């Protein structure tokens, strides 16, 4: 997992819960990196999982809810870092259905070692989209947060329903209906 995902995560934790919480979740995790991350480095996904678990235990907020809020923050990071990628799109349905064949393809060119999910488009119309998310990392709520913000970016909203195809969350169907 890319360092930028860790650095932005810890910054958000500091913003919302304070520096003490950052120190607390780092020291109660068993991190190969020692909790020192640089934006361009690459780190083990298990470190993110431990940090999320510790934060969840300390705050009583579920990991899914933490990932949702984190993704909403991460969207503005992506927007500022890759403005050109977003400018290609005029419509949220178009953008979300292009993650697999365009957006994450470009991401992989920048970071060849990025750990990305796949999004298979199952059904698409002007105002609705069904995609299947697949990833061993089961970060479907991170996807949900990014999708929410994608609609907001285009001054729109949507009703998004998640249907787990596998209990462990590694395969999830997203049913998206633009309002």
Nearer to ligand HEM (CB atom), residue 66 or residue 99:
99
- In whole angstroms, the minimum distance from the beta carbon of 139 to ligand HEM comes to 4
3-state secondary structure 61-128: CCHHHHHHHHHHHHHHHHHHHCHHHHHCCCCHHHHHCCHHHHHHHHHHHHCCCCCCCEEEEEEECCCE
Nearer to ligand HEM (CB atom), residue 23 or residue 106:
106
- In whole angstroms, the minimum distance from the beta carbon of 18 to ligand HEM comes to 25
106/112 Cα distance (integer angstroms): 10
Burial class (CB in 10 A: 0-12, 13-18, 19+), 161: exposed
Sign of torsion over alpha carbons 140, 1, 29, 81: negative
- In whole angstroms, the minimum distance from the beta carbon of 3 to ligand HEM comes to 8
- Residue 78's nearest CA partner among 142, 159, 161 is 142
Nearer to ligand HEM (CB atom), residue 24 or residue 102:
102
- In whole angstroms, the minimum distance from the beta carbon of 132 to ligand HEM comes to 12
Chain contacts with ligand HEM (rule: CB under 6 A): 1-2, 5, 78, 82, 85-86, 96, 99, 103-104, 107, 114-117, 135, 137, 139, 142-143, 146-147, 150
**Which position's Cβ is nearest ligand HEM?**
135
Nearer to ligand HEM (CB atom), residue 104 or residue 124:
104
């Amino acid at each position: 997992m890319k360092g930028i995902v860790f650095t932005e995560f810890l910054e958000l934790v500091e913003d919302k819960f304070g520096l003490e919480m950052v120190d607390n979740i780092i020291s109660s995790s068993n991190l190969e990196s020692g909790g020192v991350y640089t934006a361009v480095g690459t780190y083990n996904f298990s470190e993110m999982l431990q940090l999320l678990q510790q934060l969840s235990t300390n705050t009583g907020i579920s990991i899914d809810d933490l990932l949702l809020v984190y993704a909403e923050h991460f969207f503005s990071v992506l927007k500022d870092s890759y403005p050109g990628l977003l400018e290609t799109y005029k419509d949220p349905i178009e953008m979300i259905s292009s993650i697999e064949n365009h957006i994450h393809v470009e991401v992989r060119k920048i970071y060849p070692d990025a750990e990305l999910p796949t999004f298979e488009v199952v059904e698409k119309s002007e105002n609705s989209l069904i995609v299947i998310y697949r990833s061993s990392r089961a970060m479907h709520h991170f996807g949900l947060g990014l999708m929410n913000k994608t609609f907001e970016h285009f001054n729109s909203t949507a009703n998004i329903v998640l249907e787990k195809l596998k209990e462990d969350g590694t395969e999830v169907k997203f049913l998206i209906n633009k309002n």
